[in-house]
Amino acid sequence: MNVCIVLTVAIVPLFTDSDQEEMVMCLEDLINYFAQPEESCDHEEKQNKLKALRNRQDLFQEEGILNLILEAIDKINVISTQGLLVALIGEESSSNWDAITSYLYQLLAAIIKG
């Protein structure tokens, strides 16, 4: 007696769209947290804001956040180049990950910029 069993596997994305949107919002907030002071500030206020910004940048660098960001970018690139990104997040979500990768680069630049 031959028995044929067919299994159907539903691929469930690792990150939902709402998870990815929350990541985008967090990254946007962090980028704004490290934004340079506006030019319209008076000199003393601008100097105070620049000092606070340097302190935040130093803290993130001391805590190893730069390395974590670089590792995240590297892992996303490896997953993307191996074609695993679609399997992990679903085909329709790849544009969100493009935005997330772009924001990671912007965050990296904002933390490094002096």
Where along the chain do its domains lie?
45-114
Q: Are 96 and 26 in contact (CB under 8 A)?
A: no
Model pTM score: 0.74
Q: Supply 112's token pair.
A: 């490094």
pLDDT, mean of residues 98-110: 90
The DSSP annotation for 62-96 comes to HTTHHHHHHHHHHHHHHHHHTT-HHHHH-GGGHHH
One-letter identity of residue 109: A
If pLDDT is split at 50, 70 and 90, which confidence band does 88 have?
low
C-alpha neighbours within 13 Å on the C-beta side of residue 108: 15
Residue 5 has pLDDT above 50, yes or no: yes
